[in-house]
Structure 1
Amino acid sequence: MTMRPIRIGVQLQPQHAPYELIRDRVTELEELGADIVFNWDHFYPLYGEPDGLHFESWTMLAAIAEQTSRIELGALVNCNSYRNPNLQADMARTIDRISAKGTGTGRFIFGTGSGWFQRDYAEYGYEFGTVGSRLNDLARELPIIRDRWTKLNPPPTRDIPVLIGGGGEKKTLRLVAEHASIWHSFSDAETLERKLGILAGHCSDVGRDTGTIEISVELGRKSAGEADELRALGASLFTIGLTGPEYDLAPVREWLAWRDGSR
């Protein structure tokens, strides 16, 4: 098996911090050599003070695209419920174009999922539905998004990578097989091995080579040894979540050293 190069993605969770600090940390992450900077798509903090400082995902991503020149960017993950699919496609294309300054090739990753944070839905007036109905909506709308990319003028600069987050074995992994360039989960090695087998079955059903899908895992509190086990199973994108008010970059430096020492 040919192994993809290890990449480190950092999720700057847009909560409990002023935007000026988020902007500064993005610059630092690019200078440190991180491969991807993510935010998330929510309207309120997920933990800590529930009404603390918080910023919207897509407008921030457009600013990050203009601010940076090398690092890739996206949401980990977008909530499909919050925006019309054609609008999502156009926003993604626009950020792709903004991020292509100087190179002609965009750096935007379209990370998406079906949504789950009920407060967002209640406060902003979206229908919450059920886990199943939200996944059905995502299944219906991903083809619309991808089709809209073929109709926009100008088109995206590249085949925008689609990252799908989640580990549901019947529906989510089927969507990964059908649409994703990257599959993201919070798996440990034992779970990842089992789910990769299920994903391989879905890929066989749709006539796709599983090797075309990059495997992404959240590091959380994992050790370097645990990351090595995930790497041996084929994971190549490892993500780190950082929250305000400070966004301590020390763990990022440690994982970047692990990345560089593993190459």
Structure 2
Amino acid sequence: MNWITRVRNSLPFMAKRETPDNLWVKCPSCQEMLFVKEYEENLHVCPNCGHHGRISADQRLALLLDEGYTVLPQPEVAEDPLKFKDSKKYTERLKQARAKNPHKDAFTVGSGAILDQPAVIGVQDFGFMGGSMGMAVGTAFCAGAQEALDRGCGYVVVTAAGGARMQEGILSLMQMPKATVMTRRLKQAGLPYIVVLTDPTTGGVTASYAMLGDVQIAEPGALIGFAGQRVIQDTIREQLPEGFQRAEYLHKHGMVDRVVHRKDLREELAMLLDYMRGEEAA
């Protein structure tokens, strides 16, 4: 130990300051260090580059719905129907995911209103096993659609998923037609079905209910697609365009109707629900 270190350690006013490790967050897009409180007050949107960070299901429901909404109970489904095991048992993965999340699975439904417009909102949480679509997600989606049918109001679904849940095999893929049937029932009843695509929305979710909305809204910069960009590029052996599979590119090419900033999303949804509910509902 040299004399500088000895002197420094002997001086009480030179003691090392303890700094909490949760005061700052780095933007994954521009790498700017952001004060967590300001980041949260800005709805988890980077004030420097506008990158829209991922938020939980509860945060999304609180952001969009008026106060006093109710959260529907998660439907009971068979867990681990295939007794699946890779490096871990599927039951262990579910247990770990539930220890980090307040809900039993990746899809949560809230029933209430958006700026006094009656609505049911289903939110997919990427924080729960990558928002993967399994039996619980498919069943919860259908329960949300049924709630909208029972209330005679619009159904808004906020998607965020890496695709189907591999641990449930073909049973996860069966959720695609099941959810599609419920979107048809909403259409037959003349009720709005609006999809908000957030980062990322991919795989079987994109191939089913995520792209069946009467109106398709996307958050800025959201990754939206079926197969990954690298897989597509290796398959067709061509260089893909700049911004391929991003919200703005899809909007330009007609796959998305609107790209809406998170701070404007609530007003946008209320306006659409009011416009789409028709004279009879009014």
TM-score range, shorter chain: 0.3 to 0.5
Larger Rg: 2
The TM-score with structure 1 as length reference comes to: 0.38
More relative contact order, 1 or 2 (CA 8 Å, 6+ apart)? 1
